[in-house]
Structure 1
Amino acid sequence: MENAFLKLPFHFSEEKLLDDLAICKKYNFTSHFNKNDYSGNWTSIALRSQNGEMNNIFALPQNGEKYKDTELLQKCAYFKEVIDFFECEKESIRLLNLKPGSIIKEHTDYNLGYEDGIFRIHIPIITNEEVHFFIDSKEVKMLPTECWYGNFNLPHSVRNDGKADRIHLVMDCIRNDWSDNLFAECGYNFEAEKAAPEYSRETKLQMIEQLKLMGTETSKAMIAKLQSEI
């Protein structure tokens, strides 16, 4: 599908990314809450969350709270510089670590495409040649210091067949005029966006099961909406 992913024209300092990662590794990463979506070891730590806690790795809004920088982000000057480089509002910001031999099974997320007014950015910090990241059945090779957008409404999966961790800085950003101009420069097809396909019944059922695991008021409202469409 067109607009499934987009490489953005930014490169960041590998040395500085690794320096801030070393700070974060002094703290405990939390296992991803959706146990059905992966096998192995998939962990995260929050740089920005709704309650400002490092172990709150939920990416969906909860109970209408505003997102806050965590104490950890205050210790990571370069991560903060990278985040501030994006001239838009941000919601959840996390480090996601997929350990060697681990698999994120193919799944779809909810309202995580640019057409939904939100966009997820991946900045690889550590990876290896045996990491296989698929979006809409197409493999996307994301290298350290690069910057990528992916439409995670589409089926996606990751497999780390290598011997090193795969750690990405992952930001959920709010679409605005700045991001529209950026995406246009990078070849995003805004006409194709208008014809975004409807979710299949099977996909909606998968989304409902994932949202049930969160147990938040927001996820319950999303479940109700999806159930009404089936």
Structure 2
Amino acid sequence: MRSHRIATLRLDEERLAVDLAASGDFTYNDSYADFISTGLLRSTMLWNQSGSLAESSLGDYEGSARPTPHGEALPYVSELIGRLFHTRYLKYARFMRLAPASVYVPHRDFLELKGNMVRIHIPLQTDDSVFASEENAVFRMRLGELWYLDATRTHSVGSFSARDRIHVVCDFTAESLQQVLVGELPADPDVPPGNIVERPPLDEPRRSALLGLAATLDEHTYQEVQTLLIKQHFLTEISGDEVFVLMKEIAGRSGRADLLDRATEHEEYCMVRR
């Protein structure tokens, strides 16, 4: 997979705790609700084009990002961003708080943007019950690590944790990862074996049971069936793309053409164009 750990960080726990406490008073938005199948994702801008909290979605623009009031309210996080990155390439930095028991719909990002984008995650609060994925690989981004995420590939997040997962997500317009980093890129960027989640294959009995959900699928259960399939992605060896394959097959077997259209259109929105 292309996503990988860039480096380990020595975080100042006391200063980080002060910033996390301050974030409890933030105004959050649900700009990314389209990609949450169950649960809650709250986000807010720390840096963007205008420096305004009203600007909540990504877009192409010339120049560098400016800190928002929330960015200025997190002095330690802002210091980290300034110390780790060449901020002249920074376009957006978002504070993203994922509630327990939440899962993302698998999707690809930057579909609506023209520039070459580089995405980096700084985990600020997480545990080993929170998983990320790229295609058919599932992994953990742990506290004290800096991660490059290839958001052009199918990816997702699943939280099986009892507390919020909090990341700062930074998006840069740049030709390479090295261009945005202060300091040298490690010669062999890695995904530590302990970060990889081992999952059993999706065996035939379980696959048949999932397809059997067609008998219960309707407009009221669609979301729950989709969520179950996404959770299976984190628990067994099916890729993010296969979630849509299974969803369409279940919808087709249900005999509901409208639900098959819904699954097909959702896949195109998440994977092809929006």
TM, length-normalised to structure 2: 0.61
The 8 Å contact of residues 6 and 186 in structure 1, kept in 2 or not, is answered as: no
The 8 Å contact of residues 122 and 169 in structure 1, kept in 2 or not, is answered as: yes
Query: 1:138-153 alignment to 2 at 5 Å?
Result: 138-153=137-152
Superposed CA offset, 1:113-170 (max 9, x none): xxx7431111111112221211222122111122111111111111111110001011
Q: Which residue of 2 aligns with 1:193?
A: none
**C-alpha distance in structure 2 between counterparts of 1:111 and 1:12, whole Å:** 33
Query: 1:181-200 alignment to 2 at 5 Å?
Result: 182-183=184-185, 185-187=187-189
1:50 Cα shift? 2.0
How many aligned residue pairs are there? 192
Unpaired runs of at least 5, structure 2? 191-263
Q: Which residue of 2 aligns with 1:103?
A: 103
1:34 Cα shift? 4.5
- What SS does structure 2 have at the residue aligned with 1:31? coil
AA matched with 1:185 = A
The 8 Å contact of residues 7 and 149 in structure 1, kept in 2 or not, is answered as: yes
**C-alpha distance in structure 2 between counterparts of 1:130 and 1:40, whole Å:** 15
**C-alpha distance in structure 1 between counterparts of 2:4 and 2:272, whole Å:** 24
**C-alpha distance in structure 1 between counterparts of 2:155 and 2:56, whole Å:** 19
- What SS does structure 1 have at the residue aligned with 2:78? helix
Q: CA RMSD in A?
A: 2.9
1:87 Cα shift? 3.6
The 8 Å contact of residues 110 and 153 in structure 1, kept in 2 or not, is answered as: yes
- What SS does structure 2 have at the residue aligned with 1:94? strand
**C-alpha distance in structure 1 between counterparts of 2:179 and 2:108, whole Å:** 27
AA matched with 2:44 = I
The 8 Å contact of residues 12 and 146 in structure 1, kept in 2 or not, is answered as: no
Query: 1:164-179 alignment to 2 at 5 Å?
Result: 164-173=163-172, 174=174, 175=176, 177=179, 179=181
AA matched with 2:97 = N
The 8 Å contact of residues 29 and 44 in structure 1, kept in 2 or not, is answered as: yes
Superposed CA offset, 1:56-108 (max 9, x none): 3313336x575321012222211111010134221100111110111111111
Q: Which residue of 2 aligns with 1:32?
A: 31
**C-alpha distance in structure 2 between counterparts of 1:206 and 1:72, whole Å:** 29
1:92 paired with 2:92, answer yes
Point out which structure has higher relative CO (alpha carbons under 8 A, 6+ apart). Answer: 1
The structure whose Rg is larger is 2
**C-alpha distance in structure 2 between counterparts of 1:19 and 1:168, whole Å:** 15
**C-alpha distance in structure 1 between counterparts of 2:111 and 2:148, whole Å:** 14
1:207 Cα shift? 4.2
Q: Which residue of 2 aligns with 1:156?
A: 155
AA matched with 1:35 = D
